[in-house]
Structure 1
Amino acid sequence: MIIWLNGGFGAGKTTLAGELHRRLPEAVVFDPEELGITLWRWVPRNEDFQDLDSWRELVVHTALALRRHHAEVLIVPMALVRDAYREEILGGLAAAGEEILHVFLDLDLAVQRDRLLSRAPEGEVPPGAEEWAFSRLDPDAAARQPEGTLILRSDRLGPGELADQVLAALPG
């Protein structure tokens, strides 16, 4: 089983992944952002590593390898804000026979902005990072999630309550 935690920046994906991992200690947490950072060491840096075909391909193959060789449950906290990329990655995992619980964390845009602004103390945010993150806020993203997506409000539920909902949605 792959539990994919999707949602905008500041929605609580990493926090929820930590809570799920605490409850499922045998699971492996895979953060595809690390692949993007690694790719940027090898290829010319672009605005968003998700735009790299190689990143999306590596995410699918790495998730498959981790799930097949290291864990019955893989927890993946990663925003897939472009619908085509979400379809490509989750579709690739499904085509390989993986069972996926796709969770989308939705929240009020004002709460999301506040969370983003409170992430790092002033002066520690790289120049342009706030604007980049704000440019990717998408208040209509929850409405475009595929059928079967578990949509949860992370501005109304705490991490423990969110984890309860995710675990209750797991098959068998």
Structure 2
Amino acid sequence: MYKVIITAFLLVSINSYALSLTNDAIERGINQTCSKYLGEIEKSYNLNGLNITFVHPESSALLPSLHISSQKYNNGSSTFSATLTPDEEYCYISTVLVTSVNNQSCSEISQLKVEVNPDLQTSSYADGDFTIITPKDNTYQIILTSQGVTGCSMTETRMLWPGR
């Protein structure tokens, strides 16, 4: 039984790797508005890694769906996740992007982000092990978590209510 489940998961993962998140979502029948937004998100984040999509087996156009893309880099990795919740002609979106780098400290990353956008607000906790970065409009938050001396994990979260 476990061999069948593992084989099925691997086949879905292999198939998902070949498809974009958007194409996979469309093939699985998610709401048209949600798939349009997913395409825009996928393009803006330049997602092209291993993709996995979870949808309700019988009501994929009516119920929330989960879309995950994981990428590997020479200095770390990232995992993107989007939950899409259809509501008639609308679609609510929550995203999480976790990027782990092993050659840059969180303080360096925080400093670079503030140099690019001086309006960002930063707060540090636990002797600098955690830093929260927030723009003035609160459209997203980034949590930097130290991973030793030269490593950092960045977690960016957003909630979107397009059209409302």
TM-score range, shorter chain: under 0.3
Higher RCO (Cα < 8 Å, 6 or more apart): 1
Say which structure is richer in strand. 2
TM-score normalized with structure 2 length: 0.24
Q: TM-score, normalized by length of structure 1?
A: 0.23
